[in-house]
Amino acid sequence: MSSPSLCAATCSTSLRLPPPILRFRRPGALASVPAARSAPAVSDDLVLRIAEQLEDSVAASSPLLDPLRSASALSLLSTRWPTRRSNEAFRFTDISYLRSLPISLPSQAPALAAPSSPYPSYIHFSDGVLTSTSGVHVSALADLPPGPARDRAAAVLAASAEFADKDLFYDFNAIGAKDVAVVHVPEGVSMADDPVHIMFSYSGNGDGSMVMSNPRVLVLAEKGAEVAIVEEHFEVGQEDGGCYWANPVMEIILEEDAKVVHSYVQRQSFEAAHTKWTVIQQSKSSKYEFVEVSIGARLNRHNLHIQQLGPETDTQLSAFHFLSQDKQIHDLHSKLILDHPRGLSNQLHKCIASSTGNAIFDGNIKVNRYAQQTDAGQETRCLLLSPKALINVKPNLQIIADDVKCTHGAAISGEHDPNALYFFQARGIDVKTAADALNFAFGAHVINKIPFKPIEKNALAQFKELLASSRQE
Amino acid sequence: MAPPFAAAAAAAAVASSSSYALFSASADRPLLRHQMPPSSISVRPRRRTTAASAAAESTGRALLEARDLFACVKESGEEILTGLNLTIREGEVHALMGPNGSGKSTLMKVLAGHPEYEVTAGTVIFKGENLIDMEPEERSLAGIFMSFQAPVEIPGVNNYDFLLMALNARREKKGLPALGPLQIFPIVEEKVRALDMNADILNRAVNEGFSGGERKRNEILQLSVLGADLALLDEIDSGLDVDAIEDVAKVVNGMLAPHNSVMMITHYQRLLDLIKPSYVHIMEKGKIVKTGDRSLAYYVDESGYKDIATV
């Protein structure tokens, strides 16, 4: 492999490590070295510093990750830290919280035992480090024996290097991921009732720095396979909220006629940051069902990217965001690209913003030239519970095909439907209790779509608790 | 301004409300009782009505008394009720008929405190208390139940949870401990069966995706679980098939006790054959223009509302 070599020779610390693909050094530190000038002029000090830290921490990673790592390393050299003014994708999203604290990386695999899962198949990441896996179709990339499964995973990861819509968080993950958890479900196998529970537990290290973690998961559903995935991001250990930055990437490949049911619950601490990519590729006649419940983290940015690879795909997306804390920021950027005929898609985005929270939704659906007879629906409903809460929504459909059915709607309101409130009152229930019930119902509407009872119940309970505490303030 | 016989009527009103004096806020507001029904519009049945209704009139205590009630749509100011008078005594069944737009539904909504309407003049006394000053939920807890002509969909709120909330709101008012979901199940299940409803209806969101008939039955289910001293039933027969009307009527009749009253709006004779009204009122342009017994409903069925006030 030809890896761009920029300034490796000058680096003394790297001598202790196996030869890296690419070394990051801040231009300032290398002012006297002529090679530094070959770095693109747009490189960004902060981006390079983080990239350097990540690369130092990933001493030995699977060679299967090399193409992805080098591609991301290369693009990081010319990526600037996004700001609201310079980058359209971050126009409404203030990510300065990520710069407010020094970044540290988890030093060693934590000693904590894996949280118990109600399901026999599970994957556990502790502060981004893959610590345990269980289940027939679940494995770490490093442990995959040579064979078709491993070749397939390698091919997908290599193809990910070409991912055009990525941003710097995707690249950070690519160079910071030590290993990849692989869920590989062979042709025709159905495990829809027996979900793979992917647990991401986090704990800050309490030294005033932000612990960054870059877990990565690859789900491969072969032809006709049925898979259920439950993805949970949560806090362990810390009493008063750990400070950490979770930067996970989840890639899901659906082959022909495959079905993936994906539930995703983010309930991290309110001091944490969560920047997430979910990248889906759907082949002919595949079905992807996604339910997101995000109620944690101080800063939450989710990029959901779905690319249609064949006709007659079915895509069902539901997301609920609840902002209960001061200055909390939740952002969902979704992009669904339809390039083939007769695709069906439905997207529902809901959010409740209270106190001084800021919710952002950018929902893009592209119905390209050959995506005739597409049936695409999108709906966003937001509820503002306080006068200082802020919501930016940008639902957008770009339709080039001319024989399609596309609907979209956006509703933002500061109060509930007076008719619904009156219906409660007419049955003897006071307005406050009625409003509480309606707020709860607003979120429960999405949370109820999680097909697995223990996960659903847990998410509902946490939402209810946060709703009650945000009301008292 | 009071008609000549006002004194006697006022005395009767005071007498009838005296039993509530202990807990009646209106007891120290004699002003309310000066407003007597205009002599031209009698809401009481004529003396020549059946002996039974005459007996009811003389024995039952007044449950609800509306006097010279004016109400308008809050937003537009359009006047809908124009000096309405009505007395409902305990144990009575009243039917409210009249052409479309005469104010029947508005009367019910005004009595149930719908925020869309504003009372501009007149009084309504319910169980000796001033109803107009009460919040909608207080009216419900005091014993008024209105079935909605178009029941509201509440996505995300489970029908069973809704019943539980409403039932517990009543228990709280009475100082009783709240009941858990399992404790009310036998009660609710029995009522569901009585209405020949599918028990699935309890696990769905309130009225969401319900058919017209399911919505109406769901209203009556709420009535039968929560109970009411005065049930205001707004066209519960519309959208119901013949069997369903019979189920609903059976439940309503089963709830009628010597102290419970019903007022229903209907356009059809069938419901009146099943839930037999003591009085039939005809409304026109925001007023009750004629009151009679069931024969009035038969007259309407045959001849319509034209010239009914002069019959």
Q: Do B157 and A438 touch (CB under 8 A)?
A: yes
Mean pLDDT score of chain B, rounded to an integer? 82
For position A86, what pLDDT does the model report?
86
The answer for A167, left when phi > 0, alpha when psi is -120 to 50, beta otherwise, is beta
B203-215 confidence digits (pLDDT tens): 999 999 998 889 9
pLDDT for A109 equals 57
Cβ neighbours of residue A371 under 8 Å, at least 6 residues apart? A308, A338, A339, A340, A341, A343, A400, A401, A404
ipTM of this predicted structure? 0.81
With contacts defined as CB-CB under 8 Å, which chain A residues touch B173? 428
Shortest CB distance from B156 goes to which of A418, A423, A445? A445
Measured CA to CA, the distance from residue B93 to residue B278 in angstroms comes to 5
In CATH terms, the fold of domain B6-298 is: Rossmann fold (3.40.50)
* CA–CA separation, B239 and B92 (whole Å): 26
Mutant choice from A379, A416, A425, A448 vs B, greatest count of B C-beta within 10 A: A425
Identify each DSSP E strand in A52-159 by its residue range.
103-104, 121-126, 129-134, 138-140
Q: How many beta carbons lie within 10 A of that of residue A151, not counting itself? A: 12
Is A341 exposed, middle or buried, given 0-12, 13-18 or 19+ CB atoms closer than 10 A? Answer: middle
Contact criterion met (CB below 8 Å) for A371 and A344: no
Q: Which of A418, A423, A430 lies nearest to residue B154, judging by beta carbons?
A: A423
For helices A431-447 and B159-173, give the axis angle rounded to 10 degrees.
160
Nearest residue in A to B149, CA atom: A423
CA distance A366 to A368: 6
Largest CA distance in chain B: 60
CB A264 within 8 A of CB A278: yes
How far lies A56's CA from each of A9, A14, A15, A309, in Å? 15, 8, 11, 37
Q: CB atoms < 10 A from the CB of A473, how many? A: 10
Q: Is the pLDDT of residue B25 over 90?
A: no
Say what the pLDDT of residue B263 is. 96
Determine the pLDDT at residue A471. 75
Whether the pLDDT of residue B22 is over 90: the answer is no
For each of chain A's 473 residues, which pLDDT tens digit applies? 344 433 333 333 333 444 444 556 554 444 444 444 444 457 788 999 999 999 888 776 778 899 999 999 999 999 999 988 888 999 999 999 999 889 988 766 555 666 889 999 999 999 999 999 999 999 999 899 999 999 999 999 999 999 999 999 999 999 999 899 999 999 999 998 999 999 999 987 777 889 999 999 999 999 999 999 999 999 987 666 788 999 999 999 999 999 999 999 999 999 999 999 999 999 999 999 999 999 999 999 999 999 999 999 999 999 999 999 999 999 999 999 999 999 999 999 999 999 999 999 999 999 999 999 999 999 999 999 999 999 999 999 999 999 999 999 999 998 888 999 999 999 999 999 999 999 999 999 999 999 999 999 999 999 999 998 887 65
pLDDT at position A239: 64
Identify the burial level of B164 via C-beta atoms within 10 angstroms of its C-beta, where 0-12 means exposed, 13-18 middle and 19 or more buried: buried
Residue type, A262: H
Sign of the CA dihedral with A154 first, then A156, A157, and A158 last: positive
B174 CA: distance to closest CA in chain A (Å): 12
Taken in order A324, A328, A329, A330, is the CA torsion positive or negative?
negative
- A420 touching chain B per CB within 8 A: yes
Helices A431-447/A418-425 angle, 10° precision: 120
How many Å apart are CA A235 and CA A272, to the nearest integer? 9
Domain ranges (residues) in chain B: 6-298
Nearest to A192 by CA among A453, A456, A452, A458: A452
Are A230 and A196 in contact, with CB atoms under 8 Å apart? yes
A415 in contact with B, Cβ within 8 Å: no
For chain B, list residues whose CB is within 8 angstroms of any CB belonging to chain A.
112-115, 135-137, 140-141, 145-146, 148, 151-157, 161-162, 165-166, 169-170, 173, 205-206, 222, 226
Q: Which of A418, A427, A443 sits opposite B115 (nearest CB)?
A: A418
**Inter-chain residue contact B112 with A426, CB threshold 8 Å:** yes
The pLDDT value recorded for residue B255 is: 84
Nearest to B156 among A422, A428, A442 (CB): A442
pLDDT at A200: 95
Number of Cβ atoms within 10 Å of the Cβ of B103: 24
- Say whether residue A411 is in contact with chain B using an 8 A CB cutoff: no
Do residues B89 and B62 touch, judged by C-beta distance below 8 A? yes
DSSP A256: T
The CA distances from residue A189 to A222, A313, B13, in Å, are 8, 19, 80
Predicted confidence at residue A111, as pLDDT, reads 58
- Cα(B106)–Cα(B101) distance, rounded to whole angstroms? 9
Q: Summarize pLDDT for B135-194 with one digit per residue, the tens.
A: 999 999 999 999 999 999 998 899 999 999 999 999 999 999 999 999 999 989 999 998
SS3 A379: strand
pLDDT of amino acid A224: 96
Q: How far is CA A431 from CA A340, A425, A443, B43, in A?
A: 49, 7, 19, 35
Asked if A235 and A257 count as a contact pair (C-beta separation under 8 A), the reply is no
How much is the pLDDT for B156?
Answer: 83
d(CA B229, CA B256): 9
